[in-house]
C-alpha cells in the first residue's frame, strides 16, 4: 500500500492532535514500557521457545503424515454391489 501525500498530511495532522491533547505517549514512556515488558517476561522466553519448537515439530509431523496419505494412499478394496462372494 502506497501512502499518498494527502494521506501523509492527514496522518501528520492526527499525530499533531494526539500530541497536543497528550494522548500520544512520549518516546521515554514507550521506552519505559518496553523495558518493563522485557523485564517482566524475560524468564518466560526460553519456555516460549520450547513451546514454539514443540508446535513446529508437531506441525511438521502432521504435514508429513498428510503428505504421505496423498502420495501413498492406503489400498482400497472395492466392493461392487453386483459381485457376490461365492464360498
Q: For the segment 7-59, what is each residue's pLDDT rounded down to a tens digit? A: 999 989 988 898 889 888 878 988 999 899 888 877 777 777 888 889 999 99
pLDDT value at position 81? 66
Over 90: is that where the pLDDT of 86 sits?
no
- CA–CA gap between residue 11 and residue 29 (Å, rounded): 21
> Residues for the chain: how many in total?
87
Instruction: Report whether 24 contacts 18 (CB < 8 A).
Output: yes
DSSP 82: T
Rounded to two decimals, what is the model's pTM? 0.36
How many distinct helices (H) and strands (E) make up the chain? 3, 0
Terminal CA-to-CA distance of the chain, rounded, Å? 72
Amino acid at each position: 500500500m502506497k501512502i499518498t501525500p494527502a494521506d501523509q498530511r492527514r496522518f501528520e495532522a492526527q499525530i499533531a492532535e494526539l500530541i497536543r491533547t497528550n494522548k500520544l505517549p512520549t518516546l521515554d514512556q514507550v521506552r519505559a514500557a518496553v523495558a518493563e515488558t522485557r523485564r517482566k517476561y524475560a524468564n518466560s522466553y526460553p519456555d516460549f521457545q520450547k513451546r514454539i519448537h514443540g508446535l513446529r515439530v508437531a506441525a511438521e509431523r502432521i504435514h508429513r503424515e498428510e503428505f504421505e496419505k496423498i502420495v501413498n494412499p492406503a489400498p482400497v478394496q472395492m466392493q461392487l454391489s453386483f459381485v457376490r462372494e461365492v464360498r
